[in-house]
Structure 1
Amino acid sequence: MHAYRTHTCAGLTKADVGETVRLSGWVHRIRDHGGILFIDLRDHYGMTQVLADPDSPVFAEVEKVRAEWCIRIDGVVKARDPELVNPKIPTGEVEVFVRDIEVLGKADELPLMVFGDQEYPEETRLRYRFLDLRREAMQRNMVLRSNVVKSIRERMWAKSFNEFQTPIITASSPEGARDFIVPSRLHPGKVYALPQAPQQFKQLLMVSGFDKYFQIAPCFRDEDPRADRSPTDFYQLDMEMSFVSQEDVFETIQPVVAGLFEEFGDGRAVDTVWPQISYRDAALKYGTDKPDLRNPIEMEDVSEHFRGSGFAIFASMLEKDGTEIRAIPAQTGGSRKFCDRMNKFAQEQGLPGMGYIFWRKGDDGLEAAGPLAKNIGPERTEAIRQQLGLGMGDAAFFLGGRASEFEAVAGRARVVIGDELGLTDKDRFAFAWIVDFPMYERDDDGKIDFSHNPFSMPQGGMEALDGDPLDVLGYQYDLACNGYELVSGAIRNHRPEIMFKAFELAGYDESEVRKRFGGMVKAFQYGAPPHGGCAAGIDRIVMLLADEANIREVILFPMNQRAEDLMMGAPSDPLPGQLGELGLRLMPKE
């Protein structure tokens, strides 16, 4: 007999009745029924009920066992009485009468229970992550993650992609986030960086003639944490192809992503039509570049209905350049109570409030109500209703000013309205390609900087860079799903002269570009092919498939909100001699 088990805790059936078996696992739950001890024994595969009564030769030893002790038992398989069969588990028709027991590992008093679905503080869960991961939901999420990665590999291999591994220690690169810096011992005063993404290396692979590359790539970014983003590292499906257009990339990655959601989406519908929405239209209609299209609400510009109107706040606002009034239609939201609640929401988001009109039954039929309706009059109110396609029992909410000042709040309000009114279809995955991103933006100091990936090809090539940088669009694209960005990519700028000009507009002269990206610039001078690709966030994909709201639920050993590993104690003080060997001195903030 094997030292630890003849079967897993999910492997016994009625066909094994009468057999002597050996099982090993953790004590999930103990029940004492009139002097008979029942133990639910758990391993990675499932659960088996084992029992001992006073006739068992090791009954006294079984009495000592506690929750989460790791044990081995030998025993005889018996059929359960028909009324005691548990159809919810594969081993529900049998139980094992214990003849021998060995304690493989005792457990101290537990800081969190594995049995049950109790909620525990995040700090407790992360500090004792090895216990937290024993819980059924966490086991399920991590197995899902493993299966998703396996499926990704199989799908990419089936499309004739080669899997290559790129360096983890590399040079610092401006890619939109802070680098994690690695000091060099052999070159005092100089540093390496952990890669924010394999961007340059995958482009160099295309120059090297490999045509199709992918990798399940670890990426490292020193970022502020969010519910859908790790503050330190994450994994992505990274891919690149030569001699492709933007549409070629879409046609390649779309069936991979759709296939994952069909395979692991637990029966939820997967949209087959993925619209292409310009960045400008996404911002206008949804207030975000990652819209949740399960929500049917589309915002509209209604500025003309308020220009010169009796509502002085909006009318005077529109006299300034670059301002607008935007409406959020809300079907079935036509009650003063709901409208007041949404106005309060806007105030909680830092805005003065949110105007509204709602339509109800009046003495003469349809009646518009609310302060705005009284101020702008029936003709303008009716024109707004007609534009938005609203009717009895509906409402519309209004925000105004410069889009940059209210757009994000409008986008969040759209989500809240869709959720609270039951307009958002929760049992569905809705995808959209966001395209035509602006290449540049002004930073807080008013300087021109890249707004997205700096290695993208501008639409129109060199000629496009001769005008206003803020008008330049890039061959850049994101894939949004249910309000999250899942994929980001671009057709790359493979022409050195266009690259130099593009970086020049962002404040990098040619010498700086050669210094920062010398390997890539040099490679592009030796016959670089047109190429493009994208990266899909694996953590985020699994989070959606697992129907979790926080990315830490699908990462084995995540950091907390302060980028700390509570279990391993990172970041930690350096060991004696480490800093001296690197020629470094730490300067803690006071």
Structure 2
Amino acid sequence: MKNYTHHNNELRKNHINENVYLKGWVAKKRNLGGLIFIDLRDRFGITQLVVRPESPSYEEASSVKSEYLIEAKGIVKLRESVNPQLPTGEIEVDVLELSIINTAKIPPFTISDKEAVSEEVALKYRYLDLRRPLQQQYILKRSEITKNIRHSLEDLGFLELETPYLVKTTPEGAKEFLVPSRLYHGEAYALAQSPQIFKQLYMVAGFERYFQIARCFRDEDLRSDRQLEFTQVDIEASFVDQDDIMSMTEKVIENLMKLLNKNIKFPLKRMSYKEAFDSYGSDKPDIRYELKIENFNDTFKGFEIPIFKDKVLRGFTLENNALFTRKYFDKLTEEVKKNHGDTLAYLKLENGQLSGSISKFVNATIMKENTVMLIIPGTYDGSTQAAGAIRKTIARDLGMIDESKDELLWVTDFPLLEYDETENRFYAKHHPFTSPKDANELKNNPKDALAKAYDLVWNGYEVGGGSIRIYDQEVQMLMFETLGFTEEQIKEKFGFFVEALQYGTPPHGGIALGLDRIVMLATKTENIKDVVAFPKTQSAKDLMMMSPSKVDEVSLKELGLKVE
């Protein structure tokens, strides 16, 4: 058969008595008193077929099993018993002809959203897992979002251009994947962590507005919102400042929010990095709930508490709740220690009785009745970061987060550099091509220098990060020197780029939006693997392809490699 007339979520009452041709997979088959009912599935949905004993295709239909691929010709009829769960639930197709396009083995799990499937099995048979309606919706929504973003950027005058995947290794940033060269033994390419240098070179070349739906590669530990390979919407523009890039990005995001039917006010809120870290303990604060970090040094002034001596004290005051038990405080203490805090001290005032880990050192006058106080001693950075970590846990456990709500904001004025006490050197907070707000500050007081950098945050996830770039070769050389690179290292690692800056480079800047995270948040799933068609496991394995796998001796020899 050919010339299929409809997909399987299309037929309604207004199609009754029409002749139709359909195709799809057998989602379910039932034989009820001689009548054979088949739920036919494609990526659009389900249509019920009915095959009667007098049909010439009855024998063929009898042999059909789950996940067989079939095609059918028939007449649309009104169902005797309506299925309100299906958009096509008022009709069925009375089959005149049916043929099997291809048979199928019994699948290792039912292709249904109702059956729970272990991640190991689902990823091993990912091509079957992707037949499940929910999984298909994730991937279809990804396609829809990508299309929407692409059209928004095209409407803003951006050109879709490509950049190489095989690039030169760089000393900064996350660990890279190396690709050994067959032609030059002992040498290797790196898989691009991002198109950063190339998109800047497009600006040097005069293209002015570039974007790319770019694949990027980082050899990092995986987590719920990170994969080894990921996709970002890479954007760069010339003759712009920070406000221009943020404004253009907001137009893209505003169009996306309309597509998603989300009510977000534009322009978006802006918050400095300093405020975000001080109030929320994070540079990607979730502001859907009001739970700000407090300072407790004045509260405990005059009390001799050994674990508080010479420490910054940060934490929270909360209304008492049945959740706050000794076991729960122990759970929070473990989280504090994992996130650079010294420990967690706590107090509870109930019916005039003060209890808690430091209750013997203080009196009840420092707190209100029926409240709990959580105090984290440590350095300012350590205690604040730990408070930020337990803030998220407490909010989730107390049901403080309105999951139907979405909050987006910009975080700006990041530190330009980070200082590593162990290595006694500076690292770039973003990357070494980020412009300082003040070049003199970079030269004379690098520790306090701020960057022309900005992150887009959605419900506590960073979904975009960018900066205005350095376009002056003298400032770029100053940045390299501040990062501790020798002239030889600069020439070896970035020589071509430094040279390019000497040929009339325009002021420019950009942003990269994390497509995977955007789709994850748009579809309200909590794991990025759901919105990536063929993801790796948490332990960085591809269970379907059984990868990574051993390299044979012939290939190793050809590459000039030996495994130790």
Task: Compute the TM-score of the two structures, normalised by the length of structure 2.
Answer: 0.93
Structure 1 residue 4, shift from structure 2 partner? 6.3
Structure 1 residue 577, shift from structure 2 partner? 3.3
Structure 1 residue 412, shift from structure 2 partner? 2.1
Q: Does 1:454 align with 2:450?
A: no
Residue 293 of structure 1 aligns with an amino acid whose one-letter code is I
Instruction: Report the 3-state secondary structure (helix = DSSP H, G, I; strand = E; otherwise coil) of the residue aligned with 1:549.
Output: coil
Residue 85 of structure 1 aligns with an amino acid whose one-letter code is V
Which position in structure 2 is the counterpart of 1:388?
A: none
Q: Does 1:134 align with 2:131?
A: yes
Instruction: Report the 3-state secondary structure (helix = DSSP H, G, I; strand = E; otherwise coil) of the residue aligned with 1:414.
Output: helix
Which position in structure 2 is the counterpart of 1:431?
A: 408
Structure 1 residue 282, shift from structure 2 partner? 1.9
Which position in structure 2 is the counterpart of 1:212?
A: 209
Q: Does 1:356 align with 2:342?
A: no
Q: Does 1:556 align with 2:550?
A: no
Q: Does 1:281 align with 2:263?
A: no
Retained in 2: the 8 A contact 1:283–1:407? yes
Q: Does 1:159 align with 2:156?
A: yes
Which position in structure 2 is the counterpart of 1:325?
A: 313
- Distance between the aligned counterparts of 1:104 and 1:88, measured in 2? 28
Q: Which moved more, 1:84-93 or 1:252-261?
A: 84-93
Residue 147 of structure 2 aligns with an amino acid whose one-letter code is K
Which position in structure 2 is the counterpart of 1:263?
A: 259
Q: How does 1:123-272 map to 2 (within 5 A)?
A: 123-230=120-227, 232-264=228-260, 267-272=261-266
Structure 1 residue 19, shift from structure 2 partner? 3.6
- Distance between the aligned counterparts of 2:345 and 2:238, measured in 1? 51
Retained in 2: the 8 A contact 1:455–1:493? yes
Q: Which moved more, 1:87-96 or 1:428-437?
A: 87-96
Instruction: Report the 3-state secondary structure (helix = DSSP H, G, I; strand = E; otherwise coil) of the residue aligned with 1:349.
Output: helix
Which position in structure 2 is the counterpart of 1:62?
A: 61
Structure 1 residue 447, shift from structure 2 partner? 2.5
Q: How does 1:22-37 map to 2 (within 5 A)?
A: 22-37=21-36
Structure 1 residue 268, shift from structure 2 partner? 4.4
Deviations, residues 354-378 of structure 1 (Å, cap 9, x unaligned): 323445565xxxx876565663335
Residue 184 of structure 1 aligns with an amino acid whose one-letter code is S
Structure 1 residue 237, shift from structure 2 partner? 0.9
Instruction: Report the 3-state secondary structure (helix = DSSP H, G, I; strand = E; otherwise coil) of the residue aligned with 1:256.
Output: helix
Instruction: Report the 3-state secondary structure (helix = DSSP H, G, I; strand = E; otherwise coil) of the residue aligned with 1:72.
Output: strand
Deviations, residues 211-256 of structure 1 (Å, cap 9, x unaligned): 22111111111111010011x2111111111222222221111231
Q: How does 1:309-388 map to 2 (within 5 A)?
A: 309-314=303-308, 316=309, 318=310, 323-330=311-318, 333-335=319-321, 337-338=323-324, 340-349=326-335, 351=337, 353-358=343-348, 370=356, 372=358, 375-379=361-365, 381-382=366-367
- Distance between the aligned counterparts of 1:517 and 1:470, measured in 2? 24
- Distance between the aligned counterparts of 2:559 and 2:113, measured in 1? 49
Structure 1 residues 90 and 346: alpha-carbon distance in aligned structure 2, compared to 1, 3 A threshold: closer
Structure 1 residue 312, shift from structure 2 partner? 3.4
Instruction: Report the 3-state secondary structure (helix = DSSP H, G, I; strand = E; otherwise coil) of the residue aligned with 1:270.
Output: coil
Residue 157 of structure 1 aligns with an amino acid whose one-letter code is E
Structure 1 residue 575, shift from structure 2 partner? 5.1
- Distance between the aligned counterparts of 1:145 and 1:213, measured in 2? 21
Retained in 2: the 8 A contact 1:48–1:95? yes
- Distance between the aligned counterparts of 1:102 and 1:4, measured in 2? 15
Retained in 2: the 8 A contact 1:206–1:529? yes
Identity %: 38
Retained in 1: the 8 A contact 2:250–2:267? no
- Distance between the aligned counterparts of 1:269 and 1:419, measured in 2? 23
Residue 377 of structure 1 aligns with an amino acid whose one-letter code is N
Residue 287 of structure 1 aligns with an amino acid whose one-letter code is G
- Distance between the aligned counterparts of 2:386 and 2:525, measured in 1? 24
- Distance between the aligned counterparts of 1:284 and 1:400, measured in 2? 15
Retained in 1: the 8 A contact 2:336–2:387? no
- Distance between the aligned counterparts of 1:57 and 1:242, measured in 2? 68
Q: How does 1:486-525 map to 2 (within 5 A)?
A: 486-525=463-502
- Distance between the aligned counterparts of 2:306 and 2:106, measured in 1? 67
Q: How does 1:578-589 map to 2 (within 5 A)?
A: 578-587=555-564
Instruction: Report the 3-state secondary structure (helix = DSSP H, G, I; strand = E; otherwise coil) of the residue aligned with 2:314.
Output: strand
Paired residue total: 559
Retained in 1: the 8 A contact 2:336–2:389? no
Q: Which moved more, 1:4-13 or 1:175-184?
A: 4-13
Deviations, residues 105-164 of structure 1 (Å, cap 9, x unaligned): 211121121124222111111110110000010111111000100000111111111221
Which position in structure 2 is the counterpart of 1:298?
A: 292
- Distance between the aligned counterparts of 2:404 and 2:536, measured in 1? 30
Gaps of 5+ in 2: none
Q: Which moved more, 1:148-157 or 1:274-283?
A: 274-283
Q: Which moved more, 1:288-297 or 1:51-60?
A: 51-60
- Distance between the aligned counterparts of 2:320 and 2:304, measured in 1? 23
Residue 55 of structure 2 aligns with an amino acid whose one-letter code is S
Structure 1 residue 552, shift from structure 2 partner? 0.5
Structure 1 residue 350, shift from structure 2 partner? 6.0
Q: Does 1:481 align with 2:467?
A: no
Q: Does 1:411 align with 2:385?
A: no
Residue 314 of structure 2 aligns with an amino acid whose one-letter code is R
- Distance between the aligned counterparts of 2:525 and 2:266, measured in 1? 23
Which position in structure 2 is the counterpart of 1:546?
A: 523
- Distance between the aligned counterparts of 2:454 and 2:238, measured in 1? 17
Deviations, residues 377-423 of structure 1 (Å, cap 9, x unaligned): 355x15xxxxxxxx664433111112444443321211122223232
Instruction: Report the 3-state secondary structure (helix = DSSP H, G, I; strand = E; otherwise coil) of the residue aligned with 2:517.
Output: helix
Q: Which moved more, 1:116-125 or 1:140-149?
A: 116-125
Q: Which moved more, 1:439-448 or 1:500-509?
A: 439-448
Retained in 2: the 8 A contact 1:339–1:356? no
Q: Does 1:567 align with 2:544?
A: yes
- Distance between the aligned counterparts of 2:370 and 2:210, measured in 1? 54
Which position in structure 1 is the counterpart of 2:107?
A: 110
Retained in 2: the 8 A contact 1:69–1:106? yes
- Distance between the aligned counterparts of 2:23 and 2:401, measured in 1? 46
RMSD in angstroms over aligned alpha carbons? 2.3
Structure 1 residue 503, shift from structure 2 partner? 1.8
Structure 1 residue 62, shift from structure 2 partner? 1.7
